Amino acid sequence: MLRKELAIILNELVRGSISVEQAIEKIGLEPFLETEHCLTLDLDRGIRTGISEVVFGTGKSREQLYSAVKNLSRQQRPVLVTRLDRDSGQDLARKYPEGRYFEIPGIFVLNKQINLDDCWSGEAEAVIISAGGADLPVALEAYATMVFFGHTPGLISDVGVAGLHRLFPHLPKIAKARILIVIAGMEGALPSVLAGITAAPIVAVPTSVGYGTNLAGFTPLLAMLTSCAPGISVVNIDNGFGAACFALKVLENQASGRAGSGPEK
């Protein structure tokens, strides 16, 4: 549950359109739910942090995934599952045909409409920029996460330093963004370039894309951490979800003018 959802319930209670019992049922008596298959779901995380519980798919059994989706989707609440392989994603889509599995970023979404077939590429408060086409799965994970939580970012793909002139036509809309998520594999140079020419804070995401001495993402990770351009924050390798959550909190706190308030959309 997010702060906005809680506010709606409380307003309904004040207006008298629902009873106290109905409000209690909607909010839930417990801040967490222990389910079958050794899962403990954090139902009120969205109220505390602004980012509701999201299911990390890697390593979970089919039964655990079924249980998590079933319990999180109560009362038609939106559900996001990340880091799914093809078999698990397709299996979830069969189990919950009203949801949708996106193979390239490896995510499953239920009770929320998300379109990754035609991502927005225009001006936005947050702009996601990927250095190479091979970095697109991480970029789409970040994009889908932001859309899931109520923001539509811009997406610019394949504009890395091997052909930096490709970035130039996008600079006007990049300059208007309030935060940038910059994703790069290989040597990880693009966040440094953008931090040197734009005012927006940057969340840098190293990816595991690259030849041998890329070291599965450690080379761009270290390059981003040692950048001489100020204003860069770095998340873990391939962590598009984490970068999106950081950007969401920055945007919401900028909008509200107070720290730690969380989304109220």
| CATH class for the domain made up of 126-254 | alpha beta
pLDDT tens digits, residue range 89-108? 999 999 999 999 999 999 99
**What pTM was computed for the model?**
0.82
Q: Work out the average pLDDT over 14-20.
A: 88
**Tally of residues, the chain:** 265
With beta carbons less than 8 A apart as the criterion, state whether 92 and 100 touch: no
pLDDT tens digits, residue range 62-84? 888 988 888 878 778 889 999 99
pLDDT tens digits, residue range 32-63? 566 676 576 667 666 677 777 888 889 888 88
Alpha-carbon distance 129 to 140, whole Å?
10
Q: Give the residue with greater pLDDT, 2 vs 224.
A: 224
